[in-house]
Structure 1
Amino acid sequence: MYVAVKGGEKAIDAAHAWLAEERRGPADVAELSVDQIKGQLKLAVNRVMAEGSLYDPDLAALAIKQARGDLIEAIFLIRAYRTTLPRFGGSAPVDTGAMDCDRRVSATFKDAPGGQVLGPTFDYTHRLLDFKLAADGGAPEAPERTDAPAPKPHIMSFLDREDLIQPEPEGAETPPDLTREPLELPAERPLRLQSLTRGDEGFVLGMAYSTQRGYARNHAFVAELRIGTCAVEMDIPELGFAIELGEVELTECETVNQFQGSKTEPPQFTRGYGLVFGMCERKAISMALVDRALRWKELGEDNVGAPAQDEEFVLYHADNIQATGFLEHIKLPHYVDFQAELELIRKLRREAMGADVHQEAAE
C-alpha cells in the first residue's frame, strides 16, 4: 500500500527548481548546447537512441541534457516521448549488405573482400588521459576519404557457400513489435533480438561475458563487425514502389560459434547476431553472444543451467527502465507497509519473550 504525500507541493516545486539549477551548473560557464552533446558525446547519444527505441539524435541529446548525463533517465524520457508519436507505417527491412561502412573488421578472415576498415575506434589507443583536451584545443584533421565506397559482402556468405554454417530461415511473418506489445514468453528469436537491442548495455555485456567465461559453452569469433549508414525505405501502396525516407547509422555484428551437432543437425558453425542504432559495437557484440546462448533449444543443445541460457531471466531483467522503476519505487512513501511490519516484529518479540519467561518459570 502506498501513501499519498500531502502538503508537499511547495517542497516538490523547490526540488524541481533546485534540480534545474544543478542541471545548469555554474552560471559563469557557458551552457552546454544540444548540438555540442550530439556532436561530441555521440556514443552516449547512440546508446540513448538504441535503448530508447527511437532514432533521433537531436531528441536523444536533449534528453541527455535534461537528465544531467544520467543515460537511463534520458532513455526513460525518450521512451515516454516515443509513446506520444503517431505510427503511420513500417519500413522495409534495411539492407546491411549495402551499408556505407565507416568501420568494418573481421576477426576470422584477414583478407576479406572489401577490405578491413578500422574507422574511429578506441581499440588502438593507449588508454592514457589526454590532457590536451583540457586545454580546449582545436580538433585534429581527419584524413579525407578519397576512395569510392566498395561493396562489402557479408563474411558469413562465404561460409554459407560451403554449407559450413547453419542457414538462417527466411522470415515468413512480420514479428511482433515489442514497443507496442508486451513481451510474452516463450519468445521467438526476432522478439528476443528486439528485447536485447533495447536492453541495458551493462546487463547484456555482463551476460555476454558470462558466456565467454564458460557459462553456456559458447566460444565465439567475431566474423564481422560493421558500422555505417543504411538507407531506410518504405513501400507506398499508392505509388506501387518503395521510396527512401532517409538514412540511419547502425552497428551490426555477426559471430561464428562452434557447434558439434545434435540429433537433428550435422556438425557446423552457428551464428549469433546483433544490430543496434548508432555506433554501439560493445552492445552489438554482447547482443550477438547472448543471442547465440539463448538459441540452445532450437539447436537441440543441452541447457547447462547458465544464466545467459535462461530466456526469462535475461529478457525480463535486461530492460533498464522496468528495472529502474521497480527499484526506485521503494524510496517512495511506504509508511503503512512499514508500520505493519514493525507491529508484526514487536508482536513476535513479545510472544518470544513471553515464551522465555514461561520457560524460566517452569524450570
Structure 2
Amino acid sequence: MYVAVKGGERAIDNAHAWLAEERRGDTSIAELSVAQIREQLALAVNRVMAEGSLFDPDLAALAIKQSRGDLIEAIFLIRAYRTTLPRFGGSNPIETDAMACDRRVSATFKDAPGGQVLGPTFDYTHRLLDFKLAADGEVPEAQTATPPDTDTPHIMAFLDREDLIQAEKAGDETPPDLTRTPLELPADRALRLQSLARGDEGFILGMAYSTQRGYARNHAFVAELRIGTVAVEMDIPELGFAIDIGEMTVTECETVNQFKGSKTEPPQFTRGYGLVFGMSERKAISMALVDRALRWKELGEDDLGAPAQDEEFVLYHCDNIQATGFLEHIKLPHYVDFQSELELIRKLRREAQENITQEAAE
C-alpha cells in the first residue's frame, strides 16, 4: 500500500463517507430495500451468486445495494464474505433429472418427452420500452401452470440409447475445489467447468460467440435448456443416509455438437455442458459452448489456434475478480516507479541528442 502524503487516512474516511452519500442518492426518494432488489432484480442477484460461488439471494441483494449496482464489486463482496464461512461438509451431487422445471426448451427435439415449457423468458418480447413500468403500473398476473408430478428426463438420454453421442465417463474421485485450491494446468473437465461457472458472463459470452463465428469449428445445437428448483442433499454419518438440507434454483444447458471423428473416436455427436446458480441461461449456454471448445484435445481434434480452445488463455482470464484486481491496481500510486521511468526516458533523450550533435559535427 502506498501513502503519498500526510492525511491519507482522513482523505480515505472522507471518500467512504462521500461514497455512502452517493450510494443513498436523493433522500426524497424511497430507499431500495434488500427484499426489493432480491425480488425485482433477480437476474442481477443470480449473476452475483453464480460468479460469487455462494447461493444466498439475500446476501447477493445486499451486495448489489452496497456496491451501487456494480455487479463485479458485488461479486467481490460475496467472495470475500464466503471465505469467512465455516465448512461442515459437502453435499451430494444434485439430481437435475428430478428438477421442478420452470422453463425447459429444446432446439433439437420438437416433441420432447415432458413437453416444451417456455417459462418466464425475454425470447418472445418485442424489446420495446414499457412505459407502464415508469408509471408504476400493475403488471397482470400470469396464469399459474401446474408442474408435472413426474421427473423430467434429460433429452440427451434418447441419443444415448442409439449410441449416437459420446458417452460421458463418470469419475469416482471428488473433483478439486477451485474455491479452496489455486487453479493448476492442465485442468481436467470438472475443474474447467468450475472455472467457467465462476467466470465473468461477458467474457464467457465473447468466447462462446467466437466459436459460433468459426474460431474453433464448433457448431452446436441446444439439446436442452432447463431452469428450475433442485433439492440439495447431504449425507449425515450419524443417520447413515442423506437428508434434504434445502433447495436452490439452477440453470442447466446441454449442447449437442457435430463431430466427424478422429484417430481415437468414431463419428458421433459430442456434448457441451453448463450449470449455473439461478436463472442465468445466457451464461449456461455460453459455458456449454466454451466447454465443448476446450475438449478438442481429449477428442483427438486438431488445434485450430482459436482463443476458445486455449485452456490457459480462457481459464486464466475469465475470472473477473482477478482481472479487476490486476487492472485496477494501476490506478494506485506508482510514484517511485514512474520517477524511475521518467529518469530513464530523460537519459535516453539526452544520449540521443548527444549522438545527433556528434554526427552533425562530424
Closer, same or farther: CA 48–147 of 1 in aligned 2, 3 Å: closer
Tell me what 1:26 maps to. Answer: 26
Quote the residue 2:2 is aligned against.
3
Contact 2:101 2:147 in 1 (8 A): no
Residue 47 of structure 2: aligned partner: 47
Structure 1 gap ranges (5+): none
Q: Name the CA distance, whole Å, in 1 between partners of 2:150 and 2:222.
A: 21
Counterpart CA distance in 1 for 2:113 and 2:189 is 29
- Listed as ranges, the matches of 1:224-239 within 5 Å are 224-239=224-239
**Counterpart in the other structure of 2:36:** 36
Which residue number in structure 1 is paired with residue 95 of structure 2? 95
Where in structure 2 are the equivalents of 1:193-208 lying within 5 Å? 193-208=193-208
Instruction: Identify if the C-alpha distance between structure 1 residues 147 and 93 changes in structure 2 by more than 3 Å, giving closer, same or farther.
Output: closer
When residues 311 and 20 of structure 1 are mapped into structure 2, their CA distance, relative to the original with a 3 A threshold, is same
Match of 1:264 in 2: 264
| Structure 1, 285-294 or 3-12: larger mean CA deviation | 3-12
Q: Does 1:353 align with 2:357?
A: no
Q: Deviations over 1:136-189 (max 9, x none)?
A: 112321111235444321010000000000000012100000000000000000
- Structure 2 matches for 1:75-224, cutoff 5 A? 75-146=75-146, 148-224=148-224
Runs of 4+ in 1 over 4 A off after TM superposition: none
**1:171 is matched by which residue type in structure 2?**
G
Root mean square deviation, CA, Å? 0.8
Deviations 1:118-137 (A, max 9, x none): 00000000000000100111
Q: Report if aligned partners of 1:230, 1:247 keep a CA contact under 8 Å in 2.
A: yes
- Displacement, 1:3? 3.2
Larger mean CA deviation between 116-125 and 145-154 belongs to: 145-154
2:248 match: secondary structure: strand
Residues 106 and 222, structure 1, Cα contact 8 Å, conserved in 2: yes
1-side partners of 2:355 and 2:122: how far apart? Answer: 67
Partners of 2:248 and 2:347 lie apart in 1 by: 62
1:147 and 1:277 map into 2 onto residues whose CA distance is 21
C-alpha separation in 1, matches of 2:282 and 2:100: 20
User: Could you tell me the percent identity over the aligned residues?
Assistant: 83
Q: Point out where structure 2 has 5 or more consecutive residues left out of the alignment.
A: none
Judge conservation of contact 1:3–1:336 (CA < 8 Å) in 2. no
Cα distance, 1:149–1:121 mapped onto 2, change above 3 Å = farther
Residue identity matched to 1:3: Y
Q: Distance in 1 between matches of 2:313 and 2:68?
A: 31
What is the alpha-carbon distance in structure 2 between the residues aligned to residue 33 and residue 49 of structure 1? 18
TM-score, normalized by length of structure 2? 0.99
Cα offsets for 1:244-299 (capped at 9, x unmatched): 00101000000000000011111000000000000000000000000000000000
CA contact (8 A) 2:230 2:250 kept: yes
Q: Which residue of 2 aligns with 1:72?
A: 72
In structure 2, C-alpha distance between the alignment counterparts of 1:145 and 1:284, rounded to whole Å: 24
What is the Cα deviation at residue 68 of structure 1?
Answer: 0.1
Count of aligned residue pairs for this structure pair: 361
Distance in 2, matches of 1:262 and 1:8, equals 63
- 1:190 corresponds to which letter in structure 2? A
Deviations 1:89-120 (A, max 9, x none): 00000000100000000000000000000000
Separation in structure 2 between the aligned mates of residue 18 and residue 280 of structure 1, nearest angstrom: 34
1:192 maps to a residue whose letter is R
Q: What corresponds to 1:305 in structure 2?
A: 305
Which residue number in structure 1 is paired with residue 329 of structure 2? 329
* Matching residue of 2:13: 13
* Secondary structure of the structure 2 residue equivalent to 1:187: coil
